[in-house]
């Protein structure tokens, strides 16, 4: 019998230590199931990682570009937002030299075109497919 009381005390004290007030946020929206539609891709031996998804019928991706220089071809037009870090970019047919895009800036690339990027540090991006 003393063991049962001991277990109850341990469980009671565990609940007292771990329980805390929790905020419950209710939404009128159904829960999102973004993960079911997401696809993860790696390019250039894993140096560029991209997570793609679709929202409201529009495709987008977010990712990380490791330090290095890379070339991307485009099937459709894209708008690339640099969200963290900095990219040096040379868009086919637009620039003769690399242009610096810091966090908070963006650039566009035409369909059936491409662009070269240089990253000196890991850089995050958000790409909208137009």
Q: What CATH number corresponds to the domain at position 54? A: 2.60.120.10
For the chain, the DSSP string reads -HHHHHHHHHHHHHHHHH---------SSPPP-HHHH-EEEEETTTTEEEEEEEETTEEEEEEEE-SEEEEEE-SS-EEEEEEESEEEEEETTT-SS-EEEETT-EEEE-TT-EEEEEESS-EEEEEEE-
Residue 47 placed within a domain: yes
Residue 97 placed within a domain: yes
Residue 120 placed within a domain: yes
Residue 8 placed within a domain: no
pLDDT tens sequence for the chain (130 residues): 444 444 444 444 443 444 444 444 454 555 555 455 789 999 999 999 999 998 888 999 999 999 999 999 999 999 999 999 999 999 998 878 999 999 999 999 999 999 999 999 999 999 999 9
Residue 26 placed within a domain: no
Q: Check residue 38 and give its pLDDT.
A: 86
Q: Check residue 36 and give its pLDDT.
A: 57
pTM score > 0.75 for this model?
A: no
Q: Write out the residue range of the structural domain in which residue 107 sits.
A: 31-129
């Amino acid at each position: 019998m003393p063991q049962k009381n001991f277990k109850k005390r341990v469980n009671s004290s565990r609940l007292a230590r771990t329980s805390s007030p929790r905020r419950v946020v209710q939404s009128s929206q159904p829960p999102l199931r973004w993960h079911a539609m997401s696809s993860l891709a790696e390019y250039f031996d894993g140096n560029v990682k991209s997570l793609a998804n679709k929202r409201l019928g529009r495709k987008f991706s977010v990712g990380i570009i490791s330090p290095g220089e890379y070339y991307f071809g485009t099937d459709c037009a894209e708008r690339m937002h640099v969200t963290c870090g900095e990219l040096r970019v040379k868009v086919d047919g637009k620039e003769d030299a690399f242009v610096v895009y810091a966090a908070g800036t963006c650039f566009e690339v035409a369909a059936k075109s491409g662009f070269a990027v240089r990253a000196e540090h890991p850089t995050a991006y958000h790409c909208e497919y137009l």
